[in-house]
Amino acid sequence: MEMTGAQIFVKYLEDEGVEHIWGYPGGAVLPIYDALDTDAQKLNHILVRHEQAAVHAADGYARSTGKPGVVLVTSGPGATNAVTGIATAYMDSIPMVCITGQVPTALIGLDAFQEIDTVGITRPIVKHNFLVKDVSELAITLKKAFHLATTGRPGPVVVDIPKDVQNAKSTYEYPQEVEMRSYLPVTKGHSGQIKKAVELMLSAKRPILYTGGGVVLGDASEELTQLARKLGYPITNTLMGLGSYPADDKQFVGMLGMHGTYEANLSMHHSDVIIAIGARFDDRVTGNLEKFCPDAKIIHVDIDPASISKNVIVDVPIVGPVKQVLTEMLSILDKTEQKPDEKALAEWWEQIEQWRSTNCLRYDTLGAKIKPQAAVEALWEVTNGDAYVASDVGQHQMYAAQYYRFNKPRRWLNSGGLGTMGFGLPAAMGAQMAHPDATVVCVTGEGSIQMNIQELSTCMQYGLPVKVVCLNNGFLGMVRQWQEFFYERRYSMSYMDSLPDFVKLAEAYGHVGMRIEDPKRLKEQLADAFSDKYKDRFVFIDIITDQQENVYPMIPAGAGLNEMILV
Amino acid sequence: MKHVISMLMENESGALSRVAGLFSARGYNIHALTVAPTEDESLSRLTLVTSGTDQQIEQIVKHLNRLIDVVKVLDLTEGSHIERELMLIKLSATGEMREEFKRLADIFRGDIVDVTSTTYTIQMVGESKKLDAFIQTIDAGLILETVRSGTVGVMRGEKCLHL
């Protein structure tokens, strides 16, 4: 049967199993919006209030489910507004397909109304992108887009569809298979290398597992947990890897890096074998590369060969999916005679426990102001540590990472790579849409929340019972912290003057607003916000926190992992 | 060290800009770049000359392989190979220089492919170094125009860059 491009698009998404699509209409996608009205049977479109939020919401959906997020925006400003969201997904390797409308093919290149070179603008921030010039190519191009977004190292793919292609007719059949000669992601790690890695890890005297977002993306949390338990080695997670290993487990030494724990960073620094899995030796993790882990031999498992030996030269590289590689490592461990060096390991743990005893995450609990750390700890208690937590970017993000102990993967949704303020609320919307009955929290600050505050309206329209926990210190806290440390306390433009009354603002949108100011009432009021009373309501919880509090521990830029500022 | 990296790409619009964009975004050098279709019209062959440490070159090759439009990559410098570049150079040729340029062109096995009463255009093929050497021998004031194709190359013997 002949269908229009717009109808093919809708049918294809349904055949692909897409449940939700986040978007915003405009001139160049009107045919698709019409087809959504006439043809969509299962596909649910969510109307956001800004295209950036559409992308972050799809991203939050993807992070919390593992399925690709899907976005639909118009040409020109629709596409450029989406760019920050696409770049955010790209930096964190999130599977996503973003469909952009384009001016009719006959007008491309003529500076038409709302024309922009979307393929050109998004090229550096996508895994791949397409401009569909012929309606007969539409279905297969969409298939390729989903294939690319979800396999290998995942990432966003943009498909730009001119308006005349949406109107043109063609026959449609769901393409079951797609083959791309230039794209063959690795499906299996090299067995010889895996064997070598296991030998090296068993010979270690001061080993550490350093694991990242790749374990979450590769759904390998279970295998990782088994491996760590089998070996009995300490394990640290990157910011992106939190939840891939239970934070409450005693082998877990906390997050590493710039705001990582003392014990995690020192264990890395003094280790003799690092087992890096799905992590990429980011500058926020390694600190000064010249001082990085001087004695360590490094095993690195990653699906992307370009991540290996990019920043740090490794000794045993393994390119492959972490799940498969870990499974093979486990089976070798089952068979081998070689065992971990128990005596050395006991001494190593003794050392680590000594580092751990500094209790580097302690903070003053006696002040008259609410400490942001206390707010996150209270949040953990009232949500039983089992919420989906989206965050924005800044001090509150680090507090959430440090004090909300994630025990499950896909619970922690944050913009680790790009560090996008404004990510939290829409990401929480996406997670809530995917898990309607779950507790979904957006931990944010009064700066970040204002970067996508308009989404309070979307939350009302779709009845999304997200809970916003706003750590409001009246400062762009992380900027203020750096200005305090490195710019002689010249707080240039970091003070947030003329803040709105967030309680009234929430109420104006039809939501529930609360303010918490008294440390003594923190837990009680927070528990109320998360009680069954507000189970179906969006609640904005404005917590007035200590303005002067800083995120510790901290590794200053240029320093090594062993050169931390503790308090 | 200088590397000649050759690749087969899908013959699609935008493929070249993905390669060029990768180099500019990651701060890698491109000394020369040339691209043209192959006998298989679905493929283009792109050759570029770059330089960097071994680690940088390894990253460049990995990142090129990661581009979806790039089908296959080969660093020709890894093995014994042949490099060639074509140059057209237009010289101001009057008086006794007409005879001198003719002799020089012969020595370098170049051909004079266009002649006017005041100019010669010489075509020359060879390794880049040879073309550099020819330019060195000419008084800079007499060079009117130079155009070079950029290096192309193949592996010696049976080793090929093909699908």
- What's the mean pLDDT in A201-213? 98
- pLDDT band, very low/low/confident/very high, at B163 (cuts 50, 70, 90): confident
A47 contact B CB<8A: no
Q: What is the pLDDT of residues A401-447, one digit of tens each?
A: 999 999 999 999 999 999 999 999 999 999 999 999 999 999 999 99
**Structural contact between residues A468 and A425, judged by C-beta atoms closer than 8 angstroms:** yes
- B14 → closest Cβ in A119, A124, A304: A119
- List of domains in chain B: 2-79 (3.30.70.260), 83-152 (3.30.70.1150)
- Do the domains A191-356 and A372-544 sit in the same CATH topology, yes or no? yes
- pLDDT band, very low/low/confident/very high, at A449 (cuts 50, 70, 90): very high
Amino acid of residue B152: V
**C-alpha pair distances (Å), B146 with each of B49, B118, B124, B135:** 19, 16, 11, 9
Tokens of A518: 């008294």
- B62 → closest Cβ in A123, A127, A306: A306
**Structural contact between residues A431 and A62, judged by C-beta atoms closer than 8 angstroms:** no
- pLDDT band, very low/low/confident/very high, at A261 (cuts 50, 70, 90): very high
Tokens of B12: 């699609």
**Structural contact between residues B30 and B23, judged by C-beta atoms closer than 8 angstroms:** yes
Nearest in space to A392 (alpha carbons), one of A56, A4, A40 = A56
- pLDDT band, very low/low/confident/very high, at A557 (cuts 50, 70, 90): confident
**Structural contact between residues B63 and A306, judged by C-beta atoms closer than 8 angstroms:** yes
- State how far residue B117 is from chain A, nearest Cα, in angstroms: 44
Q: Running DSSP on this structure, what letter comes out for residue A162? A: E
| ∠ Cα A510 A515 A519 (to 5°) | 160
Please tell me which residue of chain A has the smallest CA distance to B60: A306
Please tell me which residue of chain B has the smallest CA distance to A148: B68
- pLDDT band, very low/low/confident/very high, at A365 (cuts 50, 70, 90): confident
**Sheet of B2-10: strands edge to edge?**
B32-37, B43-51, B2-10, B70-75
List, in sequence order, the alpha helices (H) in B53-142: 54-66, 97-107, 128-137
A565 contact B CB<8A: no
- Looking at domain A191-356, its CATH class is alpha beta
Give domain limits for chain A: 2-171, 191-356, 372-544
Q: What is the pLDDT of residues A70-88, one digit of tens each?
A: 999 999 999 999 999 999 9
Query: With 80 as the cut, is the pLDDT of residue A567 above it?
Result: no
- What's the mean pLDDT in B130-143? 97
Assigned architecture for domain A2-171: 3-Layer(aba) Sandwich (3.40)
Q: B55, A119: Cβ pair inside 8 Å? A: no
Query: With 90 as the cut, is the pLDDT of residue B109 above it?
Result: yes
Question: Which pLDDT score, from 0 to 100, does residue A366 have?
Answer: 87
Question: Which pLDDT score, from 0 to 100, does residue A84 have?
Answer: 98
**Structural contact between residues A102 and A130, judged by C-beta atoms closer than 8 angstroms:** no
Question: Which pLDDT score, from 0 to 100, does residue B139 have?
Answer: 96
Q: What percent of chain A has pLDDT over 90?
A: 98
Q: A120, B17: Cβ pair inside 8 Å? A: yes
Q: What is the pLDDT of residues B46-89, one digit of tens each?
A: 999 999 999 999 999 999 999 999 999 999 999 999 999 999 99
ipTM above 0.85, yes or no: yes
Query: With 90 as the cut, is the pLDDT of residue A558 above it?
Result: no
Options 3.40.50.280, 3.30.2130.10, 3.30.2420.10, 3.40.50.970; CATH for A372-544 is 3.40.50.970
- What's the mean pLDDT in A213-219? 98
Tokens of A307: 């991540």
Question: How high is the mean pLDDT of chain A?
Answer: 97
User: In the block, which residue shows the tokens 């992108």?
Assistant: A129
Distance CA(A414)–CA(A72), nearest Å, equals: 22
Question: Which pLDDT score, from 0 to 100, does residue A60 have?
Answer: 98
Picking from A108, A123, A182 by the largest number of B CB atoms within 10 A of its own CB, the best residue to mutate is A182
Calculate Rg over the CA atoms of chain B. 18
Amino acid of residue A472: N
CA A239, distance to chain mean position in Å, is: 9
**Sheet of A44-47: strands edge to edge?**
A44-47, A20-23, A69-73, A96-102, A156-162, A128-131
- What's the mean pLDDT in B135-149? 97
A181 contact B CB<8A: yes
Q: Running DSSP on this structure, what letter comes out for residue A66? A: S
